[in-house]
Structures are given as structure tokens and as C-alpha cells.
């Protein structure tokens, strides 16, 4: 049985959940609030489980342990495994790129549910959000950033080859 989630009490997180639950149209002011909330939210602050093949990888004078700071694991994956961000990019730069992408005027905004969790996500052109110096050798055209409206945090962000490569439910709502 799935455990009941703790839900963030932030008014904009509640707004996101309400929009998903009711399916009512969002006003432009509400869309702006959601984007601002996403762009200023912290990255996942937890220590997270690391996958077996990531153990022992080294980046920025640090070796990946079985449970690691989420932002560090995110960076290691995007730089070393995916090569989407350039070698040398820091956690602060990585997070700044994700935040910048949310604020770009052309960003698309999606709301949906996965595994009972309420999600807001943006899709942006990578070159508009990530500087040439920060882009890795395998940088891809689209940047997808995922925000949990239950936890009030950015959960992940990564580049994909096409908009269709993001995996979302059929009833996902695109607000812009």
C-alpha cells in the first residue's frame, strides 16, 4: 500500500495540486506564480540512494558514496554519465542553469501526476538556458526541469533529444 505523502503547505504548491485535481484553466497570473515558485525552489535537500554503477565515481575531489547529497548525484550523472554539462561545472552553476531555464519566456509548462505525486515541469531550448561553456560534449536540444509540488523542490533536470523524449501521462496539462 502506498504511504500517504506529506504535502507542502506553500500556497503555490497547493495551487499546482488544485489545478491538477480540478483541471480548471489557469490564469496567466497563476502561471507566473508557478514559474516563479519553481525558479526559486531549492533542489532536493535529501541524501539519496545511489545506483550501483555510480558508486566510486569521482567528481570535484569527492567520491560518490552509497547515500549522497541529491544535487551532487544529479551533477555527477549529468556531467560524467550523460556529458550534458561540461566537466568542471559546479553544483551552483548546474542549479543556476535549471533555474534560468524555468524563467525563459518561451519555456513550456506542464502539470501532471506520477505515482500519486503532483509535478510541474518546464521544457526549454537548452541553448537559451545553458551557456556554451557549461554545455557538455553531448548536450541535447531540449532541457526538462521537474518540480515536485508535494515536496516544494526541484527533483531533477536533464536534456533530451526531442520534446517527445520526456515521458509524461496522457492527461498532462500544458499551461503554456
Partner 1 sequence: MASVAQQIDLAAWIDKSLDYLMSNWDDIPEIAADWDNWDEDDRLDFVLEWPLREDRLHQLQRWQIDGNLSASQLQRFAELEELFERNTPTLGHLLEDESAIAPGLAP
**Element at 154 (helix H, strand E):** strand 153-160
Interface map 107-126 toward partner 1 (x if CB under 8 A): -x-x---xxxx-x---x---
**Which of 15, 31, 48, 95 touches partner 1 by CB under 8 A?**
48
**Nearest approach, Cβ of 112 to partner 1 (angstroms)?**
10
**Nearest approach, Cβ of 60 to partner 1 (angstroms)?**
20
Kindly state the DSSP code that residue 77 receives in the 8-state scheme: I
The rounded Cα 159 to chain-centroid distance in angstroms is: 10
**Nearest approach, Cβ of 70 to partner 1 (angstroms)?**
8
Q: Are strands 67-69 and 108-114 parallel, antiparallel or unpaired?
A: unpaired
**E runs forming strands in 4-151:** 47-49, 67-69, 108-114, 117-125, 142-148
Q: Does 63 bind partner 1 (CB under 8 A)?
A: no
Q: Which of residues 127-146 bind partner 1 (CB under 8 A)?
A: 137-138, 140, 146
For the chain, the farthest-separated pair of C-alpha atoms sits apart, in whole angstroms, at 49
Nearest to 99 by CA among 68, 130, 125, 78: 130
Report the interface residues with partner 1, using CB under 8 A. Answer: 2-3, 5, 44, 46, 48-49, 51-53, 77, 81-83, 108, 110, 114-117, 119, 123, 137-138, 140, 146, 148, 151, 155-156, 158, 160-161, 163-172, 174
Amino acid at each position: 500500500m502506498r504511504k500517504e505523502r506529506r504535502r507542502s503547505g506553500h500556497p503555490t504548491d497547493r495551487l499546482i495540486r488544485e489545478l491538477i485535481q480540478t483541471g480548471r484553466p489557469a490564469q496567466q497570473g497563476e502561471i507566473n506564480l508557478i514559474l516563479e515558485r519553481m525558479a526559486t525552489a531549492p533542489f532536493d535537500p535529501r541524501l539519496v540512494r545511489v545506483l550501483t554503477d555510480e558508486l566510486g565515481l569521482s567528481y570535484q575531489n569527492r567520491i560518490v558514496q552509497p547515500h549522497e547529497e541529491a544535487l551532487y548525484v544529479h551533477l555527477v550523472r549529468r556531467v560524467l554519465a550523460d556529458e550534458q554539462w561540461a566537466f568542471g561545472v559546479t553544483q551552483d552553476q548546474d542549479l543556476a542553469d535549471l533555474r534560468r531555464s524555468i524563467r525563459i519566456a518561451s519555456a513550456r509548462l506542464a502539470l501532471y501526476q506520477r505515482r500519486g505525486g503532483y509535478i510541474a515541469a518546464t521544457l526549454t531550448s537548452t541553448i537559451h538556458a545553458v551557456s556554451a561553456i557549461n554545455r557538455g560534449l553531448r548536450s541535447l536540444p531540449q532541457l526538462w526541469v521537474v518540480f515536485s509540488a508535494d515536496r516544494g523542490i526541484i527533483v531533477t533536470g536533464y536534456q533530451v533529444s526531442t520534446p517527445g523524449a520526456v515521458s509524461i501521462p496522457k492527461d498532462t496539462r500544458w499551461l503554456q
